[in-house]
Amino acid sequence: MLGALNLLSVIGICAVAAFLLWEMRLDATRRTEISSRSVVQVLSRDIARNIEMYDLSLRAVVDGMKRSEVMQALPELRQMILFDRATSAAGFANLLVLDRDGDVIANSQTLGPVSFNASDREYFRYFANRADDGLHISTPIVSRLSGRPVLIMSRRLSNSDGIFAGVVVGGIELDYIRNLFATADADHLGTVTLYGPKGTIVMRDPFDLDRLGISVAQTPSYQRMLAAKSGSFIGPAMLGEGDRHFVFAQIGDYPLQLSTSVTPAQVYSDWLGKALGLGGVVVSLCGTTVVLIWMFGRELSRRKRSEQVTATLNVELEQMATTDALTGLANRRRFDEVLAREWRRSVRTQQPLSLILLDADHFKGFNDTYGHQKGDAALKLIARSIEAATDPAHDIACRIGGEEFAVILPETDAAGAEIVADRIREAVSGWKEPHAANPHGVLTVSGGLAQIPQVRAADTAALIAIADRALYQAKARGRNQIRVAGEREAGLRTVAGTQNTALRS
């Protein structure tokens, strides 16, 4: 009793320590996620606001180009009407108006002519080939005017009849987005990444020029981000090895996603130090207690060891003698013993006794097709199906041959036994184990059922023979079915007095 109490104390200390460590770990995860969500929300809002503001400038140019009086105004006045001051703000690239050939016809930065043609650019080809009046965001490119990388935004110009008339194009410089990342103080949150159309990396912090422009569209983690506007999950890194804790959000209704990704080592770095300290103290205390318990119980263990070994050997020998080694069901010896005992009890108490014989259909073909190792697995599957459909407290499930099984059901009439047999048959076929040699296409069993006093049987051998004939009928009639002996042979039923006479003779 003293040893048990000491052991419970050790378990209690370990449980409390484990609970505290787990709570500390969850708290570290929560803090990281809260910080990540805050950064993602702030950056998403700032980037969306800048895009929206710049898009207003693009719309103003599109609307202005549709008015004839604007196009007929003096160049200086037209410049003031088309381009507001937002287009000259820091971080915004030149806003250009391109005609249907891709040549620049207006520029937000100067009144002079600009020798520039953008007919080969993706955004120009996009609008030239489709009637889309919405905002189009392209993957980042290097501006031919400034030489700096830019996230391109553009809108379509159309004539009054809807024919393509050109493109209004501008963009946000990537250095400006990089500065936004820096002001958000995201260094302690692992990696912060802005993804553009088709999963292209637009900006990344910590900054890595070699990673910009790489597409991660096919990675599982990016696909999960696309499936929802915002959220968090743990998944494989898009670049690099190992798992990451992602917190992500889509930026407005634009084809842009922003995420933070943190490695488990970063999330749990502080927690790990505390866990090691607390764990060391707990282990020391528990170790001392365990040593004392061990010294106390060693003498008792020596005394009981020989008794336990003997008892274990006896149990193992008994199990080996009555258990089928492959399936774990009772073997033929156990079957014969139990059936004889239940037979005598049924005769004495006049209670019904049912016997089910089961056989795997076309099992030789199964072994020939899939091999004996697969055949052994199929026999185990059948055994598990039998166990699932029977009550181990009252029913006895046995393997009596290669692919032959039997179930003894004391105090069970034919109707109840038939239900059990059908459950076994349905359970086996329900596994959908492929069986090419079986016309049913899957592993199935057939069964024969015999029940006294419904059938005449002078002894257990006769009862087995009757059940076996019913099994043969099930095989002959297409397999994967249960046949009940004597169910259509009313003349074979016996009254109690006649049966008693037959059993005693």
Intervals of the chain under pLDDT 70: 2, 70-81, 84-91, 111-114, 184-189, 310, 314, 487-505
Question: Whole-angstrom Cα distance, residue 426 to residue 436?
Answer: 19
Q: Give which of 350, 353, 413, 359 is closest to 386, Cα–Cα.
A: 359
Question: Whole-angstrom Cα distance, residue 40 to residue 45?
Answer: 8
Give the model's pLDDT for residue 68.
72
For residue 385, give the 3-state DSSP assignment. Answer: helix
Q: Which amino acid, one-letter code, is at 299?
A: E
Q: Give which of 427, 425, 424, 393 is closest to 411, Cα–Cα.
A: 393
Partnered with residue 404 across adjacent β-strands are: 359
For tokens 């052991």, name the residue: 7
User: In this structure, what is the dihedral angle of CA atoms 143, 146, 151, 152, given to the nearest 10 degrees?
Assistant: -60
For tokens 């998403």, name the residue: 44
What backbone torsions phi and psi does residue 258 show, to the nearest 5 degrees? -125, 135
What kind and span of H or E run contains 354?
Answer: strand 353-360
Q: Which residues contact 224 (CB under 8 A, 6 or more apart)?
A: 233, 235, 246
For residue 43, give the 3-state DSSP assignment. Answer: helix
Give the model's pLDDT for residue 213.
84
The alpha-helical segments, DSSP class H, found in 157-257 are 174-183, 220-226
Q: Burial-class residue 136 by CB neighbours within 10 Å (0-12, 13-18, 19+).
A: buried
Domains and CATH numbers, the chain: 332-504 (3.30.70.270)
For tokens 């099992």, name the residue: 363
Give the model's pLDDT for residue 486.
79
